[in-house]
Amino acid sequence: MTSNTTSSVYWFNWRVLLCAIWVLITATFSFILIWTYEALRKSNQDNGETQKETAGSLHEDDTWRPSFKGIHPAWLLAFRLVAFFVLLTLLIVATFVDGGSIFYYYTQWTFTLITIYFGIGSVLSMHGCYLYHKRVSGDKVDNVELDAEQGSYEGAVCEETSNTAAKNPECAQAQGLSAAQPAGTWGYVFQIIFQMNAGAVLLTDCVFWFIIVPFLEIKDYNLSVLAINMHTINAVFLLADTAFNCLRFPCFRIAYFFLWTVIYVIFQWLVHAGVNVWWPYPFLDLSSSYAPLWYFSVALMHFPCYGVFALVIKLKHQAFSRWFPESYQCVR
């Protein structure tokens, strides 16, 4: 701790002002993206334009449907349940070993977020398994008769591509796209948390392995097995779920990733304004003359972290649609 964070001198200076400007610009940019795209999607739903696709559109079965037709939704449910309980167990153990102070770190915030993601995903997959069971039983779900063998909605035969089909109600029904059934609130919450995790997990793991670990190695500090696991298994579970889910990845939702970090930074500022405690990460310390540069650099890191995951999604669509053209069913 280099200075008293509760003193007015610490906060009223050009460094804090510049860092505050970075945070304000980031928050404003995020709110503009959310207002522009989410408001458009909500407007289309309010006007009854359920068939019209927008950048933020999500179908109900996108949250629980596996990426391949031959895979039963119960397998995705089983994986999400395992991931949820493993992550929850690690979080409880870490809290028991190191105390509640671990939630002082961005890592634990993100780890909690990904645990919540798999918890919500498990519940949505349970609901999806129920719908799938009704489908193969030949019953009607929400007054839409479904084909039992193909696992798709009945409709006219369509020769269009999946992108065209997503815009055409008849083609959407023929190819199994539930265009008439947009996702509910929890479906969108689930997708948003997925995209927040996409950037946050990469950010925390990259900072840990490429910045913090080399610094600790210089100090001859031995990392605990628990710390290594918490900065590895989160990415493994998220990438595995990404490979086998059908969630879309609209790039404008990087805004939520930015806001997640902004909320953490503001939380740290409020804590340090009231209590003179150490900073969880040295680059957050506002007493350094390099603080504005550090804050700006971390903000810029959000783009490659989120971009890498977006690239992973794109490569997934290209590879799976090429290798398994008949069974791959995610909207591209």
In which element (H, E) is residue 105 found?
none
Which residue spans within 26-124 are E strands per DSSP?
Answer: none
Given a cut of 80, whether residue 275 has pLDDT beyond it is: yes
The greatest distance separating any two alpha carbons of the chain, rounded to the nearest whole angstrom, comes to 71
Give the residue-averaged pLDDT of 51-60: 73
Given a cut of 50, whether residue 164 has pLDDT beyond it is: no
Given a cut of 50, whether residue 171 has pLDDT beyond it is: no
The reported pLDDT for the residue numbered 38 is: 83
Residues 6+ apart with CB under 8 A from 126: 77
Give the residue-averaged pLDDT of 138-160: 44
CB 18 within 8 A of CB 290: no
In this structure, what token pair is assigned to residue 137?
């039983």
C-alpha of 64 from chain center: 15
- The torsion angles phi and psi of 169, rounded to 5 degrees, stand at -55, -45
Average pLDDT score over the chain: 82
